[in-house]
Structure 1
């Protein structure tokens, strides 16, 4: 039987998707977050993040009375299952995941929870965290018999809602069968459809999350290194990726050459895994190499742009199309595009950007975010396509030819249609390809 009363603590990206998804199954969900502004928005049916289909789904569960929002954890006192989805950012100084938000959330829950309640940690946490939390609950709240379970998320920004409703697997790690079953019951709709359920101890569950993200980050980094090789020796990186991706042992996903991985997960989780390995004397050499290569990727791109512009960026205007770390999201955390913007400004360039959703606040006299592609391209000596938005794929760059200072495009995402009629009039450089010089002819 499904848990009747569920609480989600932390309604950021992961927590909000979890809450809306479970409420869509008919469960009653109380959402708790300390950010009063966020709660006020959610009560009006306005999600604080951009995710396709989320606003419609949110408004539907609100209208059905299945979800409520509050800043007070005491309002969830009648809940018997708590999902914790607070941030665990990486410390820039140590590389360790910060767990103060998680510790505070668990303490707050324990203070008001009824006996036998289960606390499921959806936040990505270092291996051993749930065991530590359980020991603390057993010591400080022994009479309540509260249980900690690890239940990592595997959502992709831009397709998160679809990923929730169509999971490839659900991982539940706990040291008590009763606690694991309580979490499992909330996912009964998936189990009925045959979605694999991986039931384990907490350490195994925590490791699965880190290992999955590190492996995917490795695939991204691998294809980018092959892309660099293809730029030098010749070939078609898209065909190379397709050729190896059709091997069922490899698979096609995360083999798209580009500026390197970014976002809220891969950079944070690879660094945390490397730190965990060093702390336990088991160095994760592959992961550490992946981090180093990915960090240098932005510098490699900047040098290519500089070379194409005569090794001088100072005083030049550059249009940056796209700010989000990937299309279909407004997330600019650890975005390669944002790193490139800052690097260009440091080199003395003037930057004008455009993104259909994402916003970037930069306090610099040479930076301005524009409301259209054309406005960003005005007076530009270079146009950088930094995010794979669909409108950049289909954009007719002939329309901005009278506006630009120089017809030069650096396609960081390989999305520009190089068969278009305007292409022969532009210098075009793409990740994974040598520079295509303009011929001055229309095809």
Structure 2
């Protein structure tokens, strides 16, 4: 019987994991410069964290979560998104009590969503995300957007489009919500079943519907920008001013609502406009979620963040023909032959590794010719040749593969010699 990875999952093989590691190191360095610190939350949470944090009316909660009961009868869910777990950790560990505010966090995490797998959208997906908790300053919104744009630009992407919108404060959203209900009610029977249920529960989600996006009523739907009160208008203007000050270009889309219930004020998405990238162009999305901390049992604390798909980031790099520099070279490879040499080869391998040198040796019992071929395949910088005569003299031959030069080095000074060459 043969086994395959579950539908919607893929294996990350060594040739690809090197690319992922390179990208992740770039991102971590950027987070360090922006003074963000890493957080790691559990793979699963109590289901209520997502029901309360993400929202009962969202597709994630209604259709996409992997939920199960443990042996104690508790309902648990594999995390489908990163914000609610981070906020739960923020509340549980009382990070709001830290005098250094706001709390600026980033994470790399696997997410799990039961949806139809397609290119760049899997059932197990990997996200980089950030959350800033403890500041209602619009400059923080601009900083979070700046961080996301910096990641893409430093990796070389150029075909980017930043789209922003304001969902307004609680008052503005309520007024817009009522206007949407009045607008779509006469067309209720013409909408898909999902939108029919959304009409009373969360009419803002209708604007995000893929099924009804070409319905005539969509084009004439009330814009949230027409329902922003003065405070919300001023907040949005400040965000735009900060983006302009940083020379970050943006487009305003009044229909950008995001798919989660907790958003208010700033919402944004970053898209790829690269030719051949695919129909789903969104690379990252996020926004402000004042009120989520209280929903999960914490004190009134404003927050903002985003999630960025790592798979989609790599797709965008490929679409723009950006090569990720991957070092496939090996520093040293020991070619050993002779009856009494293997034990010494093991000892040398150990000592070189303890000295911080990358080294490997043959474990297949190959003859010298086969070992040299293996060294060629591994793109080795130096081949260390050890036979019985070298062992007797306590030396080893070091061959520089690039030039073909070969010198004899005392075993006692091998690590020092290799370090100098490297």
Identify the TM-score tier after normalising by the shorter chain: under 0.3
Q: TM-score, normalised by structure 1?
A: 0.23
Which structure has more relative contact order (CA 8 Å, sep 6+)? It is 2
Structure with greater proportional strand content: 2
Q: TM-score, normalised by structure 2?
A: 0.24
Report which of the two structures shows the higher radius of gyration computed on alpha carbons.
2
